[in-house]
Every structure is written in C-alpha cells, then in structure tokens.
C-alpha cells in the first residue's frame, strides 16, 4: 500500500501509470468524482490488485465468490462500487489485493437514523458493529424512541451487530447533569431505565448497548460504576452486552491530566467493553476540537488511559469529521461548520486551494478567501487516520470505532481492509 500526495502536473493517468494500477480503480478507491481535476496536496491511497475477474452473463456476487473461493463480504469490500446494484457484464472485479494482512480487527461505525440506506449498505461489509445514535434518557428513566427498526434489520443482513447508544440530553453547556445524577442516585429511576432498555433490545432486535459516560459528580463516581454493574448483570443474563463510552476532553488531552471523576479501572472491570472516544468535540460546535491538538499529546493521553483499561476490552474511537472556520475564530464564541472528507476536497477544488498537511496535529488543511472573508478548512485524510488504526493494533486493542459513517469515505475503508481482516462475529 502507498499513499500518494498529488503534486503539480499530476493527472489520474500519470499516477496510475507510475503505480501500475488502472485509472478506473484509482478513482473508485479514492472517491474521485472528476478524474481530470485532482487537488494539489490531496492524499490518494494506492493498492494494487493481484487477482481480478471479468463479469460474465449470469454471474452474481454470490456465484463469483463461491467460484473464486472468497467470502461475499470480502468481494463487496474489494469492490464498493458494486454495492446495491446489479453487476455489469464485462466489468472488472477485484478478487484479491497485493500484500499480506497483518492481523484481525473489529470495526464499529456510528450513524444517525436518517442515514441514506445506499450509503449504509455500502459501508456495512466493513463493519463488525453498528452503533445507532441515540436513545436519550429522561428524568424518570424512560427512553425517547427513534426510528431505527429498518436499519437494525439491514445491519443484521450484513452480519453486523447492531448496538443501541444511550445518552443524556444535550444542553447548550453540555450533557444534562441533573438527569445523570438522578439516574445514578435514584433506585426507582434506575429500575425504570433498565426495564426500558430491555424493552427496546427485545422489540427492536439490538444485541447490546453502549452507554455514554456523562460528567460525573464526585459523590457519584462509585455509584455510577455500581449502576453499570447492575445494568450489565441484568442484560448479560439475557445475552446482551454492555459497553461504556469514555471520552477525554480537550483540556485533558492538552494538559495530560485524566479527569478523576471517571473511574477508568472500575468501569473497565464492570462493563463488558470500553469505547475510548477521541471525538466528542463534534457535539459542541464552539469547542476547539481535539484534532487540532498535537498528535503526540493525544497519543500520550491514549497511553495514559491504556494503563487503566485492559486493551483487550477497549476499542479506540476516532473521528473523520472536518471543520470549516471563518477568521478571526474565537473558540467558545464562534461556531464551526462541519465538513466530511469529500466535501472538503470539493471545496478545495472549487476555491483553487492547495491542501497542506500540519505535522504536529497530523491534520490536513487549506485556506481561502471568499467575498472578503477568510476561511480555513481542517480535516483528516489517509495520512491522518492511518496512524490511529495502526496504533490501535500496536496496543492490541479490539479495533476502531468511526464517528461517523453518514458519508462513505472510500480511502478509510480501503486502509483498514488492505491491512487487516475485518471480523464478523454475528
């Protein structure tokens, strides 16, 4: 696998010729909408096929997979462009890529219920788990329902484990701390909460839950661990799993301090799994995101957490969300607009910008002026996310969870699929 940074004068044809791949594959595997208009500075993932197949009349994905000795899901992962449509006679499918995979990995993707179903089906072959955001808990312990039944069934048809995400309501200043305290301290509310969870799990077909850990008052630190244990005992008895999400703040990452109100060790012992999520800045548009901080500082925060969480119980949560700031930008005063990778690249093309790479933060960016206003786009590309995927395996974590998969970003899944065997446990 190679990562090529587009230089002045590069074309899809000169790049494909240099690496010995077809222009068509290069476009498919990097979501290139206009092959004649590459953006200087963008990162392209290059993987060379070693076995291909030309579709014949009467072929289907299933028949080709059987004949070639590969799993249907693997065929879909190698050819995301065929997902959700009929095969065309004469088109070329990749059966295998070059290189030897270095291990296995579990993957998790976060989605909103309104995700485009075609994008969902395109992504599911790459996933072990699908976490649907979110069920909000009320002051009485009941849950606010969401429209997720169809998504759950589609996930299962791709052998993906559907996970129910639970959180307290979001206020302007953050998570509603009153609800969190009531839930932790009131036995009757706890029982209502657990029964509500079980009702949803049974009726919707979820196979587990993920509980977001809110801000914990000092007096609630141990009771919260006990609550998770109580929930796990009830849910495990019916075959459901319990994951807790712990998310460090920008302050924790920038200072190297771990907030003492969250018992990392206690929660990791009490829950089935822990999701260590480096992404929560996306929920508050006025906060400076963790992705702007030095990569080494974020990595040190991860190292500190892994001293408290057994790696075999932990999954690393990373974000592919980008940001667009108008200058002058003042954190906590001015909101940022969100970008995905494809929209960032399209914006760079439309504004004639050159994409640059910030080494300290491992982030890509470009600046431009429009109608007298100055803007900066800040986002992740293959150079940014590949190290996190590699580190998750170096630390022997379960794998990675991606916030979010509302948009299909081909390079991300190509990186994972090229290096690791994605586990399907359903």
Q: Which pLDDT does position 335 carry in this prediction?
A: 60
Asked if residue 211 and residue 128 are part of one domain, the reply reads yes
d(CA 194, CA 189): 9
Show which of 97, 113, 132 is a domain's final residue. Answer: 97
Whether residues 114 and 134 fall in one domain: yes
Residues 117 and 256 in one domain: yes
Q: Are residues 236 and 309 in the same domain?
A: yes
Statement to judge: residues 93 and 107 lie in one domain: no
Checking if the pLDDT of 290 tops 90, the result is no
214's tokens: 């809110």
User: How much of the chain, in percent, has pLDDT values that exceed 70?
Assistant: 94
pLDDT of amino acid 249: 80
Say if residue 93 is in the same domain as residue 112.
no
- Identify which has the larger pLDDT, 105 or 175: 105
Tokens for 101?
């995979």
Q: Which residue has the tokens 């953006």?
A: 39
Q: What is the pLDDT of residue 405?
A: 93
Q: Return the CATH number at 61.
A: 3.10.350.10
φ/ψ (deg, to 5) at 279: -140, 5
Average pLDDT over residues 45-63: 95
Mean pLDDT throughout 335-347?
A: 86
pLDDT of amino acid 261: 80
Residue 107 to residue 123: CA distance in whole angstroms: 11
The pairing of strands 103-111 and 420-422 is parallel
Which of 56, 81, 97 is a domain's end point? 97
What span, in angstroms and rounded, lies between the C-alpha atoms of 191 and 344?
46
Range name among 39-48, 234-243, 278-287, 410-419 with the lowest pLDDT average: 278-287
Containing structural domain, residue 398: 103-320+384-422
CATH number for the domain harbouring residue 368: 3.10.50
Same domain, 116 and 192: yes
pLDDT of 280 reads 55
Count of the separate structural domains present in the chain? 3
Average pLDDT (321-338) is 73
Round the average pLDDT of the chain to a whole number and report it: 91
Residue 412 has pLDDT above 90, yes or no: yes
Q: What is the CA radius of gyration of the chain?
A: 22
Q: Is the domain of 187 the same as that of 73?
A: no
* DSSP symbols for 290-346: GGGS-HHHHHHHHHHHHTTS-GGGEEEEEE--EEEEEES--TTTSPPEEE-HHHHHH
pLDDT surpasses 80 at 331: no
Measure the CA–CA gap between 403 and 110, rounded to whole angstroms.
Answer: 5
239 lies in the same domain as 371? no
Mean pLDDT along residues 302-307 = 92
pTM above 0.75, yes or no: yes
CATH of the domain at 192: 3.20.20.80
For 388-402, the three-class secondary structure string (H helix, E strand, C coil) is: HHHHHHHCCCCEEEE
Q: Say whether pLDDT at 334 is over 70.
A: no
Q: Are residues 10 and 62 in the same domain?
A: yes
- Indicate the residue among 73, 97, 121 that finishes a domain: 97
Residues 208 and 132 in one domain: yes
- Find all residues with CB under 8 Å of 8, minimum gap 6, and list them: 40
φ and ψ of 241, to 5 deg? -105, 155
Say if residues 335 and 282 touch (Cβ distance below 8 Å): no
**Distance between CA atoms of residues 254 and 62, nearest Å:** 50
- Together in a domain, 337 and 365: yes
Q: Which of 335, 299, 341 is nearest to 320 (CA)?
A: 341
């Amino acid at each position: 696998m190679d990562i090529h940074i587009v230089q002045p004068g590069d074309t899809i044809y000169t790049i494909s010729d240099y690496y010995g791949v077809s222009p068509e594959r290069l476009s498919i595997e990097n979501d290139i909408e206009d092959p004649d208009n590459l953006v200087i500075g963008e990162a392209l993932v290059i993987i060379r096929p070693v076995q291909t197949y030309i579709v014949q009349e009467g072929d289907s994905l299933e028949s080709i997979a059987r004949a070639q000795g590969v799993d249907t899901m693997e065929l879909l992962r190698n050819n995301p462009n065929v997902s959700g449509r009929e095969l065309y006679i004469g088109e070329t499918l990749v059966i295998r890529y070059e290189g030897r995979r270095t291990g296995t990995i579990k993957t998790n993707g976060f989605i909103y219920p309104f995700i485009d179903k075609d994008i969902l089906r395109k992504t599911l072959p790459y996933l072990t788990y699908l976490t649907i955001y979110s069920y909000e808990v009320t002051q009485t312990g009941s849950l606010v329902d969401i429209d997720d039944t169809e998504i759950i069934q589609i996930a299962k048809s791709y052998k993906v484990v559907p996970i129910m995400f639970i959180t307290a309501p979001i206020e302007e200043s953050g998570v509603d701390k009153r609800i969190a305290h009531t839930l932790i301290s009131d036995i009757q509310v706890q029982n209502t909460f657990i029964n509500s969870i079980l009702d949803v799990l049974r009726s919707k077909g979820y196979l587990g839950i993920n509980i977001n850990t809110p801000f914990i008052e000092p007096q609630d630190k141990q009771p919260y661990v006990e609550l998770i244990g109580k929930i796990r005992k009830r849910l495990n008895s019916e075959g459901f799993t319990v994951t807790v999400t712990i998310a460090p703040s920008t302050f924790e990452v920038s200072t190297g301090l771990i907030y003492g109100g969250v018992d990392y060790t206690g929660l990791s012992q009490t829950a089935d799994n822990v999701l260590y999520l480096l992404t929560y800045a996306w929920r508050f548009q006025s906060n400076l995101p963790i992705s702007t901080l030095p990569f080494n500082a974020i990595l040190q925060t991860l190292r500190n957490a892994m001293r408290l969480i057994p790696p075999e119980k932990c999954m690393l949560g990373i974000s592919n969300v980008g940001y667009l700031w108008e200058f002058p930008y003042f954190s906590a005063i001015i909101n940022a607009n969100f970008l995905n990778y494809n929209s960032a690249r399209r914006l760079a093309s439309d504004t004639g910008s050159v994409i640059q790479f910030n080494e300290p933060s491992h982030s890509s960016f470009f600046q431009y002026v429009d109608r007298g206003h100055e803007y900066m786009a800040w986002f992740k590309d293959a150079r940014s996310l590949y190290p996190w995927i590699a580190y998750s395996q170096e630390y022997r974590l379960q794998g990675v969870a991606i916030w979010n998969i509302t948009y299909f970003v081909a390079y991300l899944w190509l990186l994972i699929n090229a290096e690791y065997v994605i586990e399907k446990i359903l």
